[in-house]
Amino acid sequence: MTRRRKPRYRSAKPDGPPAPVPETKEGSGRTSAARREPSVLRLAAFALVTVLFVLALAEGGLRLAGFGGMPALFEPVLMIGSQQVLRISNRGVGLFFGVVDERARKSIGSMVEERLTMPKPPGTLRVFMIGESTVQGFPYPSNLCAASILQSYLQERLPAGRRAEVVNLGVTAIASYPLRYLAAEALRFDPDLLVVYAGHNEYYGAFGVASRQGAGSRPWQMGLSLAARRTALYQALAAAAQRASAEWGEATAPRGTLMSRMFAREFIAPDDPLRERAAASLDASVRQILEMAATARVPVVVCSLASNLRDLKPVRTVGDDPALRDEINRLLRDGDTTGALAVAGRWVGAQPQSAAAAFALGRALEADARTSEALAAYRLARDLDAMPWRGSSAFNERLARATADFKQTAVWCDVAGAFESYEQNMGPGWRLFTDHLHPSLEGQALMAWTIFDTLAGRGLVGDLRSRPREDWTSTVLRLGANPLVEFHVARRMAILMGDAPFEHHDEARRHWEQIASERFEALQPYERRAAEAYLKRTATQSEAGAGSLSLAGGREAFADGLHDRAAAYFLAAMYETPQFSPQRSEATYYYFLCRRLSGVPPKADARGIAEALLEAEATEKALRRGREPLLRALAGLNALAGRADAARQWLEEMGASSAEAQQLRAEWARLATDSQTTVTVAP
What is residue 200's predicted lDDT score, i.e. its pLDDT?
A: 96
Range of the domain at 623: 577-683
What is residue 501's predicted lDDT score, i.e. its pLDDT?
A: 87
Please compute the mean of the pLDDT values over residues 399-428 and round it to a whole number.
94
Please compute the mean of the pLDDT values over residues 345-372 and round it to a whole number.
95
Residues 282 and 414 in one domain: yes
Helix axes 582-597, 659-672, angle to 10 degrees: 30
Name the domain count of the chain. 2
pLDDT at 12 over 50: no
Average model confidence (pLDDT) across the chain: 87
| Residue 188, in any domain of the structure | yes
| Residue 18, in any domain of the structure | no
| CA distances, 499 to each of 311, 456, 502, 506, 614 (Å) | 18, 41, 6, 11, 46
Weakest-pLDDT range from 168-177, 227-236, 410-419, 513-522: 227-236
| Residue 373, in any domain of the structure | no
DSSP string, 132-201: SHHHHTTTS-GGGSHHHHHHHHHHHHSPTT-EEEEEEEE-TTB-STTHHHHHHHHGGG--SEEEEE--TT
pLDDT band at 625 (very low <50, low <70, confident <90, very high): low
Residue 309 CA to residue 376 CA, distance in Å, equals 10
pLDDT at 421 over 90: yes
Residue pair 375/419 in contact by the 8 Å Cβ criterion: no
Q: Which residue among 402, 432, 462 closes a domain?
A: 462
In this structure, how many other beta carbons lie within 10 angstroms of the beta carbon of residue 50?
A: 10
| Residue 172, in any domain of the structure | yes
pLDDT at 2 over 80: no
Please compute the mean of the pLDDT values over residues 168-177 and round it to a whole number.
94
pLDDT band at 278 (very low <50, low <70, confident <90, very high): very high
Residues 291 and 431 in one domain: yes
% of the chain beyond a pLDDT of 70: 88
Please compute the mean of the pLDDT values over residues 41-70 and round it to a whole number.
79
What is residue 208's predicted lDDT score, i.e. its pLDDT?
A: 93
pLDDT band at 546 (very low <50, low <70, confident <90, very high): low
Residue 433 CA to residue 138 CA, distance in Å, equals 11
| Residue 189, in any domain of the structure | yes
pLDDT at 252 over 60: no
pLDDT at 14 over 80: no
What is residue 553's predicted lDDT score, i.e. its pLDDT?
A: 96
pLDDT band at 522 (very low <50, low <70, confident <90, very high): very high
What's the angle, vertex CA 406, arms to CA 178 and CA 277, rounded to 5?
A: 45
The set of residues, in sequence order, having a beta carbon less than 8 Å from that of 173 and lying 6+ positions away, is 97, 109, 132, 133, 201, 204, 205, 206, 257, 258, 259, 262
Please compute the mean of the pLDDT values over residues 140-155 and round it to a whole number.
96
pLDDT at 681 over 70: no
Residues 292 and 419 in one domain: yes
Secondary element (H or E) of residue 59: helix 29-64
CA 424 to chain centroid, in Å, comes to: 30
Residue 176 CA to residue 399 CA, distance in Å, equals 12
Weakest-pLDDT range from 114-128, 239-253, 504-518: 239-253
CA end-to-end distance (rounded Å), the chain: 125
Please compute the mean of the pLDDT values over residues 588-617 and round it to a whole number.
93
Weakest-pLDDT range from 69-73, 444-448, 575-579: 69-73
Residue 638 CA to residue 646 CA, distance in Å, equals 6
More confident site: 133 or 67: 133
| Residue 405, in any domain of the structure | yes
Weakest-pLDDT range from 36-50, 139-153, 269-283: 36-50
Helix (H), strand (E) counts: the chain: 27, 10
pLDDT band at 94 (very low <50, low <70, confident <90, very high): confident
| Residue 31, in any domain of the structure | no
CA 336 to chain centroid, in Å, comes to: 44
| Residue 354, in any domain of the structure | no
The set of residues, in sequence order, having a beta carbon less than 8 Å from that of 471 and lying 6+ positions away, is none
pLDDT at 542 over 70: no
- State the Cα torsion 357-359-365-366 to the nearest 10°: -160
What is residue 368's predicted lDDT score, i.e. its pLDDT?
A: 95
Q: Which residue among 411, 431, 462 closes a domain?
A: 462
The set of residues, in sequence order, having a beta carbon less than 8 Å from that of 506 and lying 6+ positions away, is none
Q: For residue 308, what is the domain's CATH number? A: 3.40.50.1110
What is the tens place of the pLDDT at every residue in 180-207? 999 999 999 999 999 999 999 999 999 9
What is the tens place of the pLDDT at every residue in 221-238? 888 988 888 888 888 887
What is residue 265's predicted lDDT score, i.e. its pLDDT?
A: 83
Q: Which residue among 462, 490, 515 closes a domain?
A: 462
Please compute the mean of the pLDDT values over residues 332-360 and round it to a whole number.
96
Cis peptide before 139 (omega within 30 of 0): yes
Strands 300-303 and 193-197: parallel
Please compute the mean of the pLDDT values over residues 569-583 and round it to a whole number.
92
More confident site: 238 or 30: 238
Residue pair 135/430 in contact by the 8 Å Cβ criterion: no
